[in-house]
Copies of this chain bind each other. A is one copy, B any other.
Amino acid sequence: MLVPALRRAATRATNIARPRQLRPHALPGPVPLATRHVPRLALPIPQLRRAFSTSLAKAEQASGAGGSAGSPPPPKRKLPRFRTVLKYSAYIVGSTVFGVFVLTGVIFLHDAFTYNEKHIEGVPVEPLALHPERGGPKNLPIVKVYLSDVEDEEASELRTKPHLVIVGGGWGAMGVLNTLNPGDYHVTVVSPETYTTFTPLLPSAAVGTVQVRSLVEPLRKIVARLRGHVLNAKAVDLVMSERLLEVEIVSPADSKHHLYVPYDKLVIAAGSTSTTHGIQGLENCFQLKTIGDAQRIRQRIIDNFEVAALPTTSEEERKRLLSFVVCGGGPTGIETAAEIYDLCQEDIINYYPKICREYVSIHVIQSRSHILNTYSEAISRYAEDKFNRDGVNLVTNARVGSVHPDKVVYTIKGKDGKTEEHEIPANFVLWSTGIAMSPFVARISSLLPNQVHKKAIEVDAHLRVKGAPLGEVYAIGDASTIETSIVAHLLELVDASDKNKDGKIDFEEWQIMVDQIKKRIPMSEEHLSTVRELFDLYDSDADSSLNLNELAVLLQEIGNKITALPATAQVASQQGKYLGRKLSRVARQRPVLAANDLTTNEGDEFVSGPFRYRHLGSLAYIGNAAVFDLGKYSFMGGLVAMYAWRSVYWSEQVSYRTRALLMIDWIVRGIWGRDLSRL
Contact = CB atoms under 8 A, between A and B. Distances in A.
A41 B663 contact: no
B148 A354 contact: yes
B45 A146 contact: no
A94 B42 contact: yes
Contacts of A107: 666-667, 670-671
Contact of A94 (B44, B216, B354): B44
Contacts of A100: 96, 99-100
A670 B129 contact: no
Contacts of A660: 668, 671
A126 to B, nearest CB: 9
A393 to B, nearest CB: 14
Interface string A199-212: 00000000000011
Contact of A657 (B41, B194, B672): B672
Given A125-B355, A148-B354, A311-B145, A213 B677 contact: yes
A542 to B, nearest CB: 65
Nearest to A98: B44
A519 to B, nearest CB: 42
Interface in A32-57: 40-47
B679 A231 contact: no
Contact of A97 (B99, B314, B351): B99
A224 interface: yes
A58 interface: no
A670 B108 contact: yes
Interface string A384-397: 00000111000000
A121 interface: yes
A292 interface: yes
Interface stretch (A235-243, A297-305, A524-532): A297-305
> Interface on chain A toward B: helix, strand, loop, or mixed SS?
helix
A358 B108 CA distance: 28
Interface in A294-319: 295, 300, 302-304, 306-307, 309-312, 314-315
A16 to B, nearest CB: 25
B194 A302 contact: yes
15 contacts: A2-B101, A2-B105, A45-B98, A100-B100, A107-B671, A111-B670, A123-B358, A147-B309, A147-B311, A148-B353, A218-B676, A230-B309, A251-B307, A253-B307, A253-B427
Given A220-B676, A232-B306, A232-B309, 7 more contacts: A112-B642, A123-B354, A147-B356, A194-B306, A224-B351, A251-B306, A291-B679
Interface stretch (A265-273, A279-287, A342-350): A342-350
Nearest to A221: B351
Contacts of A656: 672
Contacts of A306: 194, 232, 251
Given A102-B92, A251-B307, A349-B120, A141 B677 contact: no
A416 interface: no
Interface string A112-148: 1011110111010100011010000000010101111
Contacts of A224: 350-351
A111 to B, nearest CB: 4
Interface in A404-448: 427
A431 to B, nearest CB: 18
Given A104-B663, A671-B107, A112 B147 contact: no
Given A40-B94, A221-B676, A666 B147 contact: no
A613 interface: no
A228 to B, nearest CB: 11
Given A43-B98, A112-B639, A195 B679 contact: yes
A90 interface: yes
Interface string A232-272: 11000000000000000101111001010000000000000
Interface of A: 1-2, 40-47, 90-105, 107-108, 110-112, 114-117, 119-121, 123, 125, 129-130, 132, 141, 143, 145-148, 151, 193-195, 211-213, 216-218, 220-221, 224, 230-233, 249, 251-254, 257, 259, 291-292, 295, 300, 302-304, 306-307, 309-312, 314-315, 321, 345-346, 349-358, 389-391, 427, 623-624, 638-639, 642-643, 655-657, 660-661, 663-664, 666-672, 675-679
A59 B666 CA distance: 46
A90 B151 contact: no
Q: Closest 4 CB pairs between A and B?
A: A96-B99, A44-B94, A95-B95, A195-B677
A666 B114 CA distance: 13
A385 to B, nearest CB: 12
Nearest to A151: B354
A105 B679 CA distance: 31
B254 A391 contact: no
A638 B115 contact: yes
A357 B120 contact: yes
Given A303-B251, A321-B253, A358-B121, A147 B353 contact: yes
B194 A677 contact: yes
A248 to B, nearest CB: 12
A337 to B, nearest CB: 16
A113 to B, nearest CB: 9
A42 B213 contact: no
Contacts of A230: 309
Given A94-B41, A105-B2, A259 B147 contact: no
Contacts of A114: 346, 624, 670
A678 B359 CA distance: 37
Contacts of A221: 351, 676
Given A46-B47, A151-B353, A355-B147, A213 B675 contact: yes
A292 B678 CA distance: 11
Give the one of A94, A116, A121 with max B CB within 10 A.
A94
Given A253-B300, A295-B679, A358-B123, A44 B91 contact: yes
Contacts of A43: 98
Nearest to A676: B218
Give the one of A125, A218, A253, A675 with max B CB within 10 A.
A253
A353 B112 CA distance: 25
Contacts of A117: 389-390
B119 A391 contact: yes
B92 A99 contact: yes
